[in-house]
Amino acid sequence: QTGTVAANPEQYDQAYICPVTIGSQTLHLDFDTGSSDLWVFSNLMPSSEVDGQTEFNTNSAGATKKDGYTWSISYGDGSGASGVVYADTVNVGGATATSQAVEAATSVSSEFTSDTGSDGLLGLAFSSINQVKPTPQTTFFDTVKSSLEAELFTADLQSNGPGSYTFGYIDSSKYTGSITYTAVDNSQGFWGFTAGGYTVGGGGSNSTGTIGSAIADTGTSLMYLPTAAVQSYYSQVSGSSYSSSQGGYIFPCSASLPSLTVSIGGHGFVVPGSNFNYSPTGSGNTCFGGLQENTGIGFTIFGDVFLRAVYAIFDETQGSPRIGFAAQ
Ligand SMILES: O=C(CNCCc1c[nH]c2ccccc12)Nc1scc(-c2ccccc2)c1C(=O)NCc1ccccc1
């Protein structure tokens, strides 16, 4: 089988939301290659924590409670959720898992309550970091992968318009040139890979360094790189500065932003400057940068700002996992 689903950007491309059928309900979930739990808003939640989201109905005929199973997840930004576990049929654009662990929330943090476009998350990192106790559950991809035409999924994220995720096949209309594959280190449960040199601006002349180990994370909006690369980038943005009140680099919204070329698997991938204007700060005419430092995160994260510039293939067809990138 295969699956194809639209990925709809929220405001400022903060996250990408996809329709998922669970039993007889359709919920809109944030597909997240940076975590491994499929969790949803549910009828078990206090109404004070729900702001228009669709709630998974745990009383529906097809939902089977997994007694004694609970989950609790917290993300690096301090947000989180927790609840209990059901099994139900989950269909993503035609790819169907007949008995998938659906983690029904009994409580979510304010970040999720206020993210009114999302009814939950569908984790696509490795099942080794699934947060269900006493027994970790498999991700949707792990549940269905043996029944897919090919054991892979792809992400095509777009700004200002729907992108797509596919399961089981590569859509050759989504990219140009060839796909560059590189090995994945999933020892921490993420789609980890090694990034090489970078250059700021098309000049090709100015500063280059190397980035090192990184993760491909559709669930994180921005790109978080080592300090040296970030300082080198913003040294080319006139009027930019680090704002401790805003918690990152900002610049005049009128600033012209250079591109950033990152070498992965020996191929240079260009992130256009426009990707690095994330959103207005709301004060003065300054905008918040889509590229920020990874200090305090402990990971170099290639989030949506990078993934919007490429077609990404999350591939387990070779036995050991690999990730592929192609220009789009
Ligand atoms: O958790 C994920 C992917 N799921 C995100 C789901 C989600 C978390 N709030 C959400 C809010 C709305 C929708 C989805 C989410 N990725 C990773 S790997 C390492 C870190 C990390 C570790 C330590 C410190 C910081 C990050 C994160 C992280 O917290 N990213 C989110 C973020 C990163 C930076 C700033 C804000 C958020």
pLDDT at 207: 61
Q: For residue 15, give the ligand 1 atom closest to its CA.
A: 13
Two structure tokens written together for 141: 């991809």
> How far does residue 207's CA lie from ligand 1's centre (Å)?
29
Report pLDDT digits (tens) over 89-132: 999 999 999 999 999 999 999 999 999 999 999 999 999 999 99
Kindly state the percentage of the chain with pLDDT values over 70. 98
Average of per-residue pLDDT across 259-274: 97
**Residue 209 — very low, low, confident or very high, per pLDDT cuts 50/70/90?**
confident
Please say if 32 is a catalytic residue.
Answer: yes
- CB-neighbour burial class of residue 178 (10 A; exposed 0-12, middle 13-18, buried 19+): exposed
pLDDT at 202: 81
Q: To test the ligand 1 pocket, which listed residue (220, 249, 297, 301) has its Cβ within 8 A of the most ligand atoms?
A: 220
Tell me: pLDDT of 200 over 70: yes
Please say if 115 is a catalytic residue.
Answer: no
- Residue with CA closest to ligand 1 atom 25: 76
* DSSP characters over 224-291: EE-HHHHHHHHTTSTT-EEETTTTEEEEETT-----EEEEETTEEEEE-GGGGEEEE-SSTTEEEESE
Tell me: pLDDT of 179 over 80: yes
* Strand, helix or coil for residue 326: strand
Mean pLDDT (the chain) is 97
Tell me: pLDDT of 36 over 80: yes
H helix and E strand count, the chain: 4, 25
Q: To test the ligand 1 pocket, which listed residue (36, 41, 51, 75) has its Cβ within 8 A of the most ligand atoms?
A: 75
The span from the CA of 79 to the CA of 318, in Å, is: 35
> How far does residue 203's CA lie from ligand 1's centre (Å)?
33
Tell me: pLDDT of 252 over 70: yes
Average of per-residue pLDDT across 50-76: 98
Average of per-residue pLDDT across 143-163: 96
Q: Are 192 and 213 in contact (CB under 8 A)?
A: yes
Tell me: pLDDT of 204 over 70: no
Tell me: pLDDT of 205 over 60: no
pLDDT at 183: 98
The span from the CA of 275 to the CA of 296, in Å, is: 23
**Residue 133 — very low, low, confident or very high, per pLDDT cuts 50/70/90?**
very high
Residues framing ligand 1 (Cβ under 6 A): 15, 30, 32, 34-35, 75-77, 79, 111, 115, 217, 219-220, 297-299
Report long-range pairs for 66-75 (Cβ below 8 Å, ≥24 apart).
Answer: 66/101, 68/134, 69/101, 69/132, 69/133, 69/134, 69/135, 69/137, 70/132, 70/133, 71/37, 71/39, 71/103, 71/131, 71/132, 71/133, 72/131, 73/35, 73/37, 73/39, 73/131, 75/35
